[in-house]
Structure 1
Amino acid sequence: MIKVGIVGGAGYTAGELLRILLTHPNAEITCIQSTSNAGNPISAVHTDLLGDTDLTFVPDLDTSIVDVIFLCMGHGKSVEFLTENEIPSHIKIIDLSHDYRLEREGNDFVYGLPELNMEAIKSANKIANPGCFATAIQLALLPLAAAKKLSEVHVNAVTGSTGAGQKPTSTSHFSWRNNNVSVYKAFSHQHLGEIKQSLKQLQNGFNEPVNFIPVRGNFARGIMATAYVDCDMTQEEAVALYKEYYKNHPFVTVSDINPHLKQVVNTNKGILFVEKHDNKLLVISMIDNLVKGASGQAVHNMNLMFGLEEKTGLRLKSVAF
């Protein structure tokens, strides 16, 4: 059994990790740290787990009882935690924040998008889990970059309110978000850096704009991204390109019909739809922002790091209605 520790156990991503790992056949949760909830039952915060676990939050991580640590804190907190705490080298680390996603001197984390870096993930000791928008958008663009056919990109993507985290804000509480949509961080979203980094990894020298308009949706979870680029392929050629790229990636499906968001919510799936319009190629990409866009992808990375079959513990079904 893989002994799992979670640091920052009270938020949405930690709650999703617990939901997945409690039924994972090869994982045992041994330590869930939360400074603000130390001593409280897990189910007092993650109420969906009432009756599923008797675990309680602890104030400090005990590294003697873990094989892997998931860092589920706010951006900037992972760097702070790893600076202040010496983690034994045999313990694997999966960070779900933004702190280690971008390449820089001294950063020894592997960027954990399995559909891009699977082999590197298998031998890694530290993983920087991708962002939710970044995951959906990269899935839409990786095959084009791999084929050296990527040009200027235009993306519009809408996300559920859980993407803003558990702490209520003026744009995430129900009375504001319900029956409402709005644009934020147009052309300047923090996930653009990791998206461009990955595209350059596949298409050396790619330096075209990625024009990204993020939208706050009036629903709780899920991301629908629509991307379009100039493209000289036929629709049949483009669909074949995408199906070939993802043929060995079990969580990504290239659909022959236009999908809808309920097909991915509560699952680790990514569903793509490719359609040609004159000289434009439209790619629709859908994921659950908390699962494939965060905690499910983190468990997928854990499976790869420990040599397990990729879908272990992640055969999750969507809610159709």
Structure 2
Amino acid sequence: MSTTMIKAGIVGGAGYTAGELLRLLIHHPQVEIAYVHSKSNKGNPITQVHTDLIGDIALSFTDQLSYDIDVLFLCVGHGEAKVFWEENPVPDSVKVIDLSQDFRLDAEGNDFVYGLPELNKHKIKEARHIANPGCFATCLQLGIIPLAHAGWLQSDLHINAITGSTGAGQKPSATSHFSWRNNNISVYKAFEHQHLREIKQSVGKLQPDYQNEFMFLPMRGDFTRGIYASIYTKIEQSLEEVQTLYNTFYEDAPFVHISEVNPNLKQVVNTNKGIIYLQKHQDTLLTISMIDNLLKGASGQAVHNMNLMFGLAENTGLNLKASFF
């Protein structure tokens, strides 16, 4: 493992994902934060925006870019990363990890590797540019891709998943306002959530003959962070065969754990873990998959990708305890 410090820059430093990324990188033993870029917060101390970091970081936001770094994290909004990429020619010497959705789908001229470590670990190690997966996409793929890898998907996938309010980003909206969100629940983007595109892309590569429907109902929860997904589909194999498949598929995945008992969301909040539980009723397999949307679903996964790109142990800087009490 390299002992050289990795110099990191962050663009789009004021949002939730940047705040979580900073929290992780500050305490990462092999990272030095070179700068945090934010035009709207130029000159302001980072702790004025990310108040949880008081005492941890003395830097202020800057509106200047520098490529005297080893890795650049793009934490800008969806659509803004592509604009940044077109306007700012990042040299090949700088590795880039984009946390937006702009480069997740295969397209001509797109050399970004899809950054789901449990799927593309070896490609990530050799990549210069990484497209970090979406939060729902991460959670759902962890529950689905072992079946696709084995070619066992044979009928429609029915998915119900609920996410915390931080999944909507930091900018206030009608459905993230406390008085609306508290003691409330609702469905949104039924059957057509944007993360389905990257999920279908991955499943299609693993099991090209699978042409069935993804019946996805995303829900807004009255809590701040975490995603809890229940996925069910008809399957021929026994529960024991499925459990063996998942344990084998994830044996080299340090953050994915197959639970023998029905888990709860608090087990993953404030961690980079993905927890999966499997149950079968007659010919229907139920898979429960859960993650923290800001960590395993965003910033923690970005750090995991960085670790792979720089030859570090995968769990470096990511050994976090769940906020259980």
| Paired residue secondary structure (1:59) | coil
Contact 1:68 1:92 in 2 (8 A): yes
- 1:207 corresponds to which of 202, 207, 211: 211
- 2:164 corresponds to which of 152, 160, 163: 160
Partner of 1:112: 115
Q: Distance in 2 between matches of 1:17 and 1:208?
A: 37
Mapped pair 1:90 → 2:65: no
Partner of 2:81: 78
Q: Distance in 2 between matches of 1:208 and 1:111?
A: 23
Partner of 2:256: 252
> What pairs with 1:56-67 in structure 2 (closer than 5 Å)?
56-64=60-68, 66-67=69-70
Contact 1:32 1:61 in 2 (8 A): no
| Paired residue secondary structure (1:103) | coil
Partner of 2:272: 268
Partner of 1:121: 124
Structure 2 gap segments, 5+ residues each: none
**TM, length-normalised to structure 1:** 0.99
Q: Distance in 2 between matches of 1:298 and 1:61?
A: 20
Q: Distance in 2 between matches of 1:205 and 1:123?
A: 29
| Paired residue secondary structure (1:63) | coil
Mapped pair 1:301 → 2:318: no
Q: Distance in 1 between matches of 2:73 and 2:102?
A: 13
Q: What do residues 146-175 of structure 1 show as CA deviations (whole Å, max 9, x unaligned)? A: 110013201000000000000000000111
Give 1:251's aligned amino acid: F
- 1:174 corresponds to which of 178, 185, 189: 178
Give 1:312's aligned amino acid: T
Partner of 1:284: 288
| Paired residue secondary structure (1:248) | coil
Give 1:83's aligned amino acid: E
Moved >6 Å (runs of 4+): none
Contact 1:16 1:291 in 2 (8 A): yes
Q: Distance in 2 between matches of 1:246 and 1:183?
A: 31
Q: Distance in 1 between matches of 2:285 and 2:210?
A: 18
Partner of 2:142: 139
| Paired residue secondary structure (2:293) | coil
Mapped pair 1:36 → 2:56: no
Partner of 1:69: 72
Name the % identity: 62
Partner of 1:216: 220
What is the count of residue pairs matched by the alignment? 320
CA RMSD of aligned residues (A): 0.6
**TM, length-normalised to structure 2:** 0.98
Q: Distance in 2 between matches of 1:126 and 1:275?
A: 38
State the shift of 1:86 in Å. 1.2
Mapped pair 1:49 → 2:53: yes
